[in-house]
């Protein structure tokens, strides 16, 4: 996003014109940024034999998935719905990994029918259920087993997935037991050791500790896994204080880990591919004077962008039109929903605003629209994509008749 004179531009388009045509709140994605992020990711890990599976939960938009698939990525899915959408978007089944702790019999059945790359199992019960269904179908099913490496990702507790108290994966002892069982099963083909330690990780050191745990398991097992699934979790810079994750250092750690190993790496990035591609355009409905601060009441709310309310996550907030004059009052940017947590940020010395001004909430490409809801019976926002200087409506705004 750039400013020309006093006005902001999103890939060359004035947000005021976008808001006028499509109304607000409005999700706007830059195809160029998505493509640049994918190319940067590929280049950063080009020295490693890998499959990159985009995390569909981060943004399941059909058009975006289709574009991401065309750029060579597979898909990491966690439900039958995500699997169906990935396949419908043109992603080849042999580039799809099915993760998650609670796969139903129906979902397992569907994944086997689609002949996807892997089902990453997370418990003894799940492995037995996969085996039961495989036996009925008289098929050998390719699986991975997710290890919980008891590694602190140094991220928000709500998005930590690799510590022993987290619900994800299984302990080292249980992993060895279930791996032995799977290897000896007639209907299971153990192809992958899988891990995922968390999300929005900005330091490569937790990944190094994770790799050390995997190394220990491999030495004990003396078994050749075709794949090592390292998950995703690579963070992005939501504000200037965030340190950028070094792909270079992470790549170096993986290369060191892979010495004398023939395993192919699976990555499951989501946020690092699509996070910074999205901007939420929203309009100021009212400015309400409060105690020691002014409430900037937007037409976007926590049902449109849940992350700040759910995690206390921060997003950069910018005015569409620059104003050198700063407010002496503190601005608290809030939505109209009847929850005290329906707020996006509290800022000092922000450019002076007035009612009907447009505001940009940045870096909402991941876990923005995918976490949206109809809470307070509010319609979901429209989504557009800017590609090659052309605008495409990729998800129309909900009408009340769609859900009332």
Domains of the chain, by residue range, sit at 2-29+275-402, 31-272
The model's pLDDT over 210-224, given as tens digits with 9 standing for 90+, comes to 999 999 999 999 899
Q: What is the pLDDT of residue 221?
A: 93
What pTM does this model have?
0.94
User: What is Dmax (Cα atoms) for the chain?
Assistant: 72
Q: pLDDT-based confidence at 61, cuts 50/70/90?
A: very high
Is residue 71's pLDDT more than 90? yes
pLDDT (average), residues 155-172: 80
Return the beta strands (E) in 56-104 as ranges.
Answer: 74-77, 96-98
pLDDT (average), residues 132-161: 87
CATH code of the domain occupying 31-272: 3.20.20.10
Whether residue 53 contacts residue 97, with contact meaning beta carbons closer than 8 Å, is answered with yes
Please identify every residue annotated as catalytic.
338
Query: Residues with Cβ < 8 Å from 152, sequence gap 6 or more?
Result: 160, 162, 163, 206
Is residue 8's pLDDT more than 80? no
Q: What is the pLDDT of residue 7?
A: 64
- The H-or-E segment that residue 317 falls in is strand 317-319
* 3-class DSSP assignment, residue 331: strand
Is residue 249's pLDDT more than 90? yes
Whether residue 145 contacts residue 180, with contact meaning beta carbons closer than 8 Å, is answered with no
The model's pLDDT over 89-112, given as tens digits with 9 standing for 90+, comes to 999 999 999 999 999 999 999 999
Q: What is the pLDDT of residue 241?
A: 77
pLDDT (average), residues 35-41: 98
Mean predicted lDDT score pLDDT of the chain: 94
Whether residue 231 contacts residue 168, with contact meaning beta carbons closer than 8 Å, is answered with no
Integer-rounded Cα radius of gyration of the chain? 23
Q: pLDDT-based confidence at 156, cuts 50/70/90?
A: low
104 vs 128: CA distance, rounded Å = 12
Q: What is the pLDDT of residue 226?
A: 98
pLDDT (average), residues 4-26: 88
CATH code of the domain occupying 2-29+275-402: 2.40.37.10
């Amino acid at each position: 996003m750039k400013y020309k004179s006093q006005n902001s531009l999103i890939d060359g388009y004035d947000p005021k014109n976008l808001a006028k045509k499509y109304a607000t709140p409005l999700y706007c994605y830059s195809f160029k940024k998505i493509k640049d992020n994918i190319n940067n990711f590929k280049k950063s890990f080009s020295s490693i034999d890998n499959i990159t599976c985009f995390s569909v939960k981060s943004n399941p938009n059909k058009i975006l998935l289709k574009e991401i698939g065309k750029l060579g990525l597979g898909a990491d899915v966690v439900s039958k719905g995500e699997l169906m959408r990935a396949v419908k978007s043109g992603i080849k089944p042999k580039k799809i990994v099915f993760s998650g702790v609670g796969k139903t019999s129906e979902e397992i059945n569907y994944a086997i029918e689609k002949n996807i790359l892997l089902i990453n199992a997370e418990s003894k019960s799940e492995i037995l259920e996969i085996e039961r269904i495989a036996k009925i179908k008289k098929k050998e099913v390719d699986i991975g087993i997710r290890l919980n490496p008891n590694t602190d990702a140094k991220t928000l507790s709500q998005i930590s997935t690799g510590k022993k108290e987290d619900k994800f994966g299984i302990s080292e002892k249980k992993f060895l037991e279930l791996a032995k069982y799977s290897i000896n099963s007639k209907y299971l083909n153990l192809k992958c050791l899988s891990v995922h330690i968390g999300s929005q990780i900005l330091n490569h050191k937790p990944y190094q500790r994770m790799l050390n745990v995997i190394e220990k398991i491999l030495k004990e097992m003396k078994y050749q896994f075709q794949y090592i699934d390292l998950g995703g979790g690579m963070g992005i810079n939501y504000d200037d204080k965030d340190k950028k994750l070094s792909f270079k250092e992470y790549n170096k750690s993986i290369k060191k880990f892979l010495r004398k190993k023939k395993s192919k790496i699976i990555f499951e990035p989501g946020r690092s591919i699509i996070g910074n591609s999205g901007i939420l355009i929203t309009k100021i409905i009212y400015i309400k004077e409060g105690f020691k601060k002014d409430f900037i009441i937007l037409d976007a709310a926590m049902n449109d962008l849940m992350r700040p309310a759910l995690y206390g996550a921060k997003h950069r907030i910018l005015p569409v039109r620059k104003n050198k004059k700063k407010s002496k009052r503190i601005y608290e940017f809030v939505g109209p929903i009847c929850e005290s947590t329906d707020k996006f940020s509290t800022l000092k010395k922000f450019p002076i605003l007035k009612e009907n001004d447009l505001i940009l909430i940045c870096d909402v490409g991941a876990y923005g629209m995918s976490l949206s809801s109809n809470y307070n019976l509010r319609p979901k926002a429209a989504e557009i994509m800017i590609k090659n200087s052309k605008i495409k409506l990729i998800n129309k705004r909900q009408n009340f008749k769609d859900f009332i």
